[in-house]
Structure 1
Amino acid sequence: MHTTVLVVGGGATGVGVARDLALRGVDTTLVERGALAAGTTGRSHGVLHSGARYAEADPDDAAACLAENRVLRDIAPDCIDETGGYFLQLDGDDPSYFERKREACDSLGMAVETLSGDALRDRVPEANPRVERALAVPDGVVSPASLVLATAAAAREAGAELYTHSPVEDVHVADGVVTGATVGGRLDARIEADVVVNATGPWAERCAALAGVDVPMAPTRGVMVAVDNPGVDAVLNRCRPPDDGDIVVPRDGTAVLGTTSVAVDDPDDFERTEHEIERTVAECAAMCPGVDAEVRDTYWGVRPLYAPDEAARDDARKISRGFALLDHAADGAAGLVTVVGGKLTTYRRMAEATADRVCERLGVDAECRTAKRALPASDDPAVADLRATLGVDAPAN
């Protein structure tokens, strides 16, 4: 079979690329080795970031989060719970970090509000009495499953073909140019393609290697712990440099606590430790004692961190959470494009940048339309059909 663009990966970024290209009139096929959202996307904490988490350390990435936060509220309201969020300073936390955070958010044009500890507890009674003050920010909660299904349904409606349980077994290169891929599983076909987009998240290094290309990744695992929700209805963040157990996310009657960051060699096969679960619960309970409750579920995600700098691998939390777009023409695989890194909040922007690069290669003169075009609602028959036929694997829901 033949397609103009083959997208590999059925997470948020992959389906986002397929939708964007299809809306530009590009013949697009997407393949995914499992069900939709079966990788990093379906195992995230589901925070719709305002950018506050990254404001003082990476203002460019924070600005991108803030912009996409606003876009997704417009185009995908059915996938989002507008909870709001708070950054909590506990006694013993560095007050100067709080000030830097607030100033950085202000500089981005973010709507923020400083609350005393008592004012925060008026809004979130479950917050620890040790909270001295808080910064209110426009965080929210997004359903990874709903967002991926809605985006995939929009991609199919625009003309993209989608195949799950169809792993890529080889990427073909002839005379320095990608010519397609061999796909197994349900599809079981050789696909000829002018461009192949590698949107496989923490598996990007493996996918690129099929074409003889090196994409240095430094994936890290993180645990999410779902407990009985003591009544928290907003996203709670610890106002300190990112560390284990610094976020509480209300989801479907539970509070999801996260997370850890431990390097893994294999994103398919890694250790899951009880210690990380216990540490995550204990640290989150410092913000909200009521979350030290019955554990309903745990799930582990793997972050797709791109680390071309070998030295950065020694401290994964210092690796940028922004995304990288790699064109492999200079690597002897023209027509192969890899998109790595990023986060769920910025998936649409990542897809737009990728589609821009692909269209430039193809000579397609068409603008991105995904920022203005609404996604289908969760009760749309097309979304229900995709859930039934392609499947979704997202414990984050």
Structure 2
Amino acid sequence: MTRNTDVVVVGGGATGAGVARDLALRGVDVTLVERGGLASGTSGRSHGLLHSGARYAESDEVGARECIEENRVLKDIAGACVRDTGGLFVQLPDDDPEYFKAKRTACEDVGIPVETLSSEAAREAAPGLSEEVVRAMEVPDAVVYPSRLVAANAADAREHGATILTDAPVEDLRVEEGGVTAVDVGGAVDDEIRAERVVNAAGAWAGELAAMAGVDVEMRPTQGVMVSVRHEGLGPVLNRTRDPADGDIVVPHDGEVVLGTTSVEVEDPTDYERSEEDVDRMREACAEMLPPVADADHVRTWWGVRPLYAPDEDTREGARGISRGFFVLDHADDGVENLTSVVGGKLTTYRQMAEATADRVCETLGVEADCRTAEERLPGADDAETLDSLVEEFGGAGPTDEDVVRR
């Protein structure tokens, strides 16, 4: 049997689900296919930090502005997908005080609310914080639960007519006369899907999918490890006030904290080394900010892979402190008229990535409808139980937030 639709979106992470939602709200007939459960790739294996933009303020003004804009949008539309904890950038004795000043000034220039706290005020805001802390900056960072966020986007897409297919790996893209004529899907679907447009939202695997159509999308994935340990009552997200490095983020959950992360380039986003030495090194680094985590009880460890776009990385010379942008790539010049890839970016800006992609797709389809995803609340946003039932339905439980979603 053949399925017919206007647009096939390949990839059921935050960006793919966001594209499906955006297109469906504009009246486009869309089908999303994901090889596993939703959020089973990068989105569900992150550290779960909803950036305020402060991390990038002094190195990438555009990226920082994107983050603070989307931070505010998600706090407005996503309800229990987000926990508004606030965040601290803490300065330790070995950290450059000029870097602290530059970051604070950059936050003010970008429009990120920021307040300097004394060491005493910082420790009051974050119980367990190191006695060595010199001072801190308070910024509107938050925690995001990606399993809920992705499931809610998919549910809203479905409510507006989209078809969401999980356990549906793409086995081939058939290209004839300059376009993708069919998407061959295996797994529980075992069917072909014909569409006017195909969106490649496969994240770190975008290069593999594009290659099925004879197109080169050069990705440069990096893996990072996250560790969850027992710790009560932290309060805000913690960031180290220095150039981004291993072990400089601590994300609070109820009764746990998530320690992150490393950045190691890998050739294969599926098959790569998972080093316990990285785990130990990262825990030691995070303990410089929050000493109790050094010997706190271990809960779980997981690795995720960042979907970095190689040409963008080349211009940044691998600088980890620089925010990564996103790119919407049309492949007409590659001989495939109806294929669009969206690559790069970060979880915080998924909705903006989806909007830019949907704008491009709608332009090619002749659809004149504005984006509504920043104004309309996600379904179930005010009811955690509803959100968690959607996660279960879509097979989307991931390690980032499994202590919250499965509780």
TM-score range, shorter chain: over 0.9
2:248 aligned partner: 246
CA drift at 1:154: 0.6
Distance 1:319 1:306, change over 3 A: farther
Q: Match of 2:14, as an amino acid?
A: A
Matches within 5 A, 1:79-118: 79-118=81-120
Matched with 1:278 is 280
Residues 55 and 214 (structure 1 numbering): CA distance in 2 closer, same or farther, change over 3 Å? Answer: same
Task: Select 1:327's aligned residue among 293, 314, 330.
Answer: 330
**How far apart are residue 390 of structure 1 and its match?**
2.6
Q: Distance in 1 between matches of 2:307 and 2:389?
A: 29
Q: Which runs of 4+ in 1 moved over 6 A?
A: none
Q: Where does residue 396 of structure 1 map in the other structure?
A: 400
After superposition, give the CA deviation of every residue in 1:98-122 in whole Å (9 maximum; x if it has no partner): 1110011000111110011122112
What's 1:231 paired with? Answer: 233
SS of residue matched to 1:50: coil
- Could you tell me which amino acid in structure 2 is paired with residue 346 of structure 1? T
Between the aligned partners of 1:134 and 1:389, the Cα distance in structure 2 is: 42
- Find the aligned partners of 2:113 and 2:317 in 1 and give their Cα distance: 35
State the shift of 1:129 in Å. 1.2
In the comparison of the two structures, how many residue pairs are matched? 397
1:389 CA displacement: 3.5
Q: State the Cα deviation string for residues 218-246 of structure 1 (Å, max 9, x = none).
A: 10000000001143111000000110000
Indicate conservation of the 8 Å contact 1:312/1:318, yes or no: no
| CA displacement, residues 3-44 of structure 1 (integer Å, 9 cap, x when unaligned) | 110000000000000000000000000000000100000011
The 3-state SS of whatever aligns with 1:317 is coil
Shift of the 187–382 alpha-carbon distance from structure 1 to 2, 3 Å rule, reads: farther
Shift of 1:180: 2.6
**Do 1:220 and 1:304's aligned partners in 2 also have CA atoms closer than 8 Å?**
yes
Cα distance in 1 for partners of 2:218, 2:120 equals 47
CA contact (8 A) 1:153 1:383 kept: no
Structure 1 counterpart SS, 2:65: helix
**Partners of 2:127 and 2:235 in 1: CA distance:** 10
| 1:359 paired residue among 362, 367, 371 | 362
> Any stretches of 5+ residues in structure 2 without a counterpart?
402-407
Alpha-carbon deviation of 1:358?
0.2
CA distance in 1, matches of 2:96, 2:384: 48
Q: TM-score, normalised by structure 2?
A: 0.94
1:125 maps onto 2:110 in alignment: no
Q: Which residue of 1 aligns with 2:404?
A: none
Q: Name the amino acid aligned to 2:243.
A: P
**C-alpha displacement at 1:125, in angstroms?**
2.9
Which stretch of the first structure deviates more once superposed, 171-180 or 241-250? 171-180
Residue deviations 1:160-181, cap 9 Å, x none?
0000010001112212122231
The answer to whether the 8 A contact 1:220-1:316 is kept is no
Superposition pairs of residues 61-76 of structure 1, within 5 angstroms:
61-76=63-78
Is the Cα contact below 8 Å between 1:197 and 1:339 reproduced in 2? yes
CA deviation string 1:277-299 (max 9, x = no partner): 00110000000101111211100
Check if 1:78 corresponds to 2:68.
no
Partners of 2:210 and 2:316 in 1: CA distance: 20
- C-alpha displacement at 1:311, in angstroms? 4.3
CA displacement at 1:62 relative to structure 2: 0.6
Which residue identity lines up with residue 160 of structure 1 in the other structure?
A
Change (3 A) 1:383 1:84: closer
Aligned to 1:302: 305
**Partner Cα separation in structure 2 for residue 86 and residue 109 of structure 1:** 17
Partner Cα distance (1:26, 1:310) in 2: 34
Distance across 1 between alignment mates of 2:217 and 2:321 = 19
Distance of 1:380 and 1:50 partners within structure 2: 23
Deviation for aligned residue 1:316? 6.1
Q: CA deviation at 1:368?
A: 0.3
1:344 and 2:344 matched: no
Q: Is the 8 A contact 1:180 1:196 kept in 2?
A: no
Q: Aligned-pair distance for 1:252? A: 3.2
Q: How does 1:1-397 map to 2 (within 5 A)?
A: 1-292=3-294, 293-308=296-311, 311=314, 315=318, 317=320, 320-377=323-380, 379=383, 383=387, 386-397=390-401
Q: 1:310 to 1:261 in 2, by over 3 A?
A: closer
How has the CA–CA distance of structure 1 residues 242 and 176 changed in structure 2, closer, same or farther, with 3 Å as cutoff? same
Unaligned runs of 5+ in 1: none
Query: What code does the residue aligned with 1:396 have?
Result: T
Kept after mapping to 2: 8 A contact 1:126/1:230: no
Identical-residue share of aligned pairs (%): 60
Contact 1:115 1:134 in 2 (8 A): yes
RMSD of Structure 2 on Structure 1 (CA): 1.6
Instruction: Give yes or no for contact 1:111–1:138 (8 Å, CA) kept in 2.
Output: yes
2: CA distance, partners of 1:102 / 1:310: 26
What TM-score do you get using the length of structure 1 for normalisation?
Answer: 0.97
Give, in whole Å, the separation in 1 of the partners of 2:312 and 2:327: 13
